Structure 1
Amino acid sequence: MFLCFCFSSFGCQRKKEYHTGKEVSYTSNEKEDSAKILELAKKYFQPIPQKAPQSEKDSKEKIALGKELYFDKRLSVNNTISCNSCHQLNNGKAGVDNEPTSPGAFGKRGDRNSPTVFNAAFHIAQFWDGRAKDLVEQAKGPILNPIEMAMPSEAEVIKKLKAIKDYQKKFQKAFPKEKDPLTYQNIAEAIAAFERTLITRDRLDDFLEGDLKALNQEELKGLQSFVKTGCTTCHSGPLLGGNMFQKMGLVHPYENRKDLGRFKVTKNPGEKYFFKVPSLRNVALTAPYFHDGSVKTLEQAVVKMAWLQLGKKLTSQEIKNIVAFLKALTGKRFLKK
């Protein structure tokens, strides 16, 4: 925390530190510095929109149905896991299970880390390799994946849900214009509608919208280091990521060479080891990190990414400041009141 002596000649003022509520002192020079950093930040980042793309057509009935389906373990072959099992929304979780990889219906683990579902509606594509173009397409995958929810076919999913009278009524309300609304497509449509409501806003949004008090001095220094280091080459835009694919190990090779990433989807040799750049929103809550969940702490992730992607070795102070900035990206809904 940065303090100043409040002599009138220094233009010292009082403010409340946004995230602690404590009153601290700051000088007019600090205010000017914050304004300059804000202009820098606006070159690379934008506030998260209040509403997700395509959400204008989502009715409250469709969203409510999607929420129920998201938490329903009956969508798995043995009624043991739901969407929420791997992308947890309860108990203060940030849309993840905090596991390196997630266990499926029969206990076998997948080969990639489960990404957060928060703000997923704003991503360029879904899954680490971008194989699903949107949330609807993504929602169809895990239910039929033999390692994940392991239902044998779309027909079996529909048969199972149609045996539940309550669902037939709720699908009719969510899709009132359809004669037979309980379809696999509509299951995915409903889940996607719910997921489009999972938006977080944090102190960076407040800062970008003009609140110069939103970030403290350490976080502001971290923002500057983040930009100066070159992290914004990939982590930019509203989500600080989620808007492009990049090679894992751009400058120095990543040690895990088994997963070929996007190459599995495109068959383009030039895209070997390419993955979707993850969003950094709520990153302090989504450990472990990387597509294989191999890195346990945020500090380790910062050090490793600077070296692998940029060929840079950071000082201990740079690491500390960048981590402080990244922690400021934690959504307000997760902060203790």
Structure 2
Amino acid sequence: MKKLCLITILFSSILFVSCSKESKDSQAVKATTETAVEINSAMLAAFAPLPKEYISETNPLTLEKIDLGRMLYYDKRLSKNHDISCNTCHNLEMYGVDNKPTSPGHKGQLGVRNSPTVYNAAGHFAQFWDGREPDVEAQAKGPILNPIEMGMPDAEYVITVLKSIPGYAQYFEKAFPGETDPITYDNVGLTIGAFERKLVTPSKWDDYLNGNKMALSNAEKEGFNAFVKAGCIACHTGALLGGTMYQKLGLVKPWPNNIDEGRISVTNAATDKFLFKVSGLRDITKTGPYLHDGSIVDLETLVAMMAEYQMGQMISESETKAIVSFLDALTGIIPADYIAEPELPASGPNTPKPDPS
């Protein structure tokens, strides 16, 4: 009996060791399988890592311009009622957006289009959803004079306000040395634009493109492959994965409930009806709601609808989730020190008071 028990115990021990070894071997095989996810290297040629800054031949970056631009970006006195700054709708601590479908402006008025992120915006080939301005310098001057955004009556009034703030004179003089009258509306655009040209958010995707093949998880790599398979790269390529072209919303079938006719309002060309600038996908998991009207709240819904209405594909739920996993890898690092809100010069005795009218 003792001999039988001993044999039983011995057999059980061998079986346990064998099962343990088999379990470890299975885990090793699983791990090997998981690390086998590969990205088609030929597809990577369509993409590029982010630059450290966006260079402009017409607006050379200097520390003085950038520092002044940062101040103006945060200064609510550039709005009629002194209650809205660039940062109000493009909050730099919130990935450059306010996470609202459309942003409330002067007197609480709502615009008709979603406020896109300013991060990496300087890399876009045009500005605004309809591409009506060529660069961030020109774009920066638009909202200040828009009656339903910041509400300033005209550029001359903006300059009157800035000249009434004594501390700004020295900053404009340093930013534009040699100019006899540096406080101009064009220079306001140049300084804010200079500041925005260094709003860059590198992510693990950049690490991967720069050679670190371990930067992406298997799920993110599978997501990239699904992204390519679904045809997303027809529009979303380059360093920003977008921002390089216009495209019709509802390319293969009409987009539901869209009343905004897009770029045709700029060009009056029938071929531009329902055309919008293709969004860059950097930080997209943080910058909802989505589309020009902020009508889509959920990113998975957006991905599935884009596949259906733009590519004519009905992708599966698993493919949708995979693509979103890849998009999450595009979430970058906010430059906390660079965007720190500066101390602004005090108003002078002649600085106009807030005007809620």
Match of 2:305 in 1: 304
Cα drift, residue 59 of structure 1? 1.1
**Identical aligned pairs, as a percentage?**
50
Match of 2:73 in 1: 70
Match of 1:39 in 2: 41
Q: Distance in 2 between matches of 1:5 and 1:176?
A: 72
What SS does the corresponding residue of 2:167 show, helix, strand or coil? Answer: helix
| Post-superposition CA distance 1:245-290 (Å, at most 9, x none) | 0000001111233211000111110110000000000000001000
Match of 2:273 in 1: 272
| Post-superposition CA distance 1:39-89 (Å, at most 9, x none) | 144132111112212288211111010000000000001101000011001
What SS does the corresponding residue of 1:218 show, helix, strand or coil? Answer: helix
Q: Is the 8 A contact 1:38 1:207 kept in 2?
A: no
Alignment of 1:188-203 (within 5 A): 188-203=189-204
Question: Could you tell me which amino acid in structure 2 is paired with residue 327 of structure 1?
Answer: D
Please say which structure displays the higher CA radius of gyration: 2
Match of 1:174 in 2: 175
Q: Distance in 2 between matches of 1:33 and 1:334?
A: 32
- Tell me the matched-pair count: 314
Q: Distance in 2 between matches of 1:177 and 1:6?
A: 73
Q: Distance in 2 between matches of 1:5 and 1:252?
A: 51
Alignment of 1:90-239 (within 5 A): 90=93, 93-239=94-240
Match of 2:294 in 1: 293
Question: Could you tell me which amino acid in structure 2 is paired with residue 162 of structure 1?
Answer: K
Question: Could you tell me which amino acid in structure 2 is paired with residue 165 of structure 1?
Answer: P
Question: Could you tell me which amino acid in structure 1 is paired with residue 91 of structure 2?
Answer: Q
* RMSD of Structure 2 on Structure 1 (CA): 2.1
TM-score (norm 2): 0.84
Match of 1:80 in 2: 83
Give yes or no for the alignment of 1:48 onto 2:50. Answer: yes
In structure 2, the CA distance between the partners of 1:242 and 1:177, relative to structure 1 (3 Å rule), is same
Q: Compare 159-168 and 40-49 and name the one that shifted more.
A: 40-49
What SS does the corresponding residue of 2:276 show, helix, strand or coil? Answer: strand
TM-score (norm 1): 0.89
- Provide structure 1 residue ranges, at least 5 long, that are not aligned to the other structure: 13-24
| Post-superposition CA distance 1:194-220 (Å, at most 9, x none) | 000100101111111111111111111
Q: Distance in 1 between matches of 2:172 and 2:217?
A: 48
Q: Compare 53-62 and 161-170 and name the one that shifted more.
A: 53-62
In structure 2, the CA distance between the partners of 1:38 and 1:205, relative to structure 1 (3 Å rule), is farther
User: Higher RCO, 1 or 2 (CA under 8 Å, sep at least 6)?
Assistant: 2
Q: Compare 218-227 and 253-262 and name the one that shifted more.
A: 253-262
Cα drift, residue 31 of structure 1? 5.3
| Post-superposition CA distance 1:147-204 (Å, at most 9, x none) | 1011001110000110000011111111112111000000010000000010010111
What SS does the corresponding residue of 1:333 show, helix, strand or coil? Answer: coil
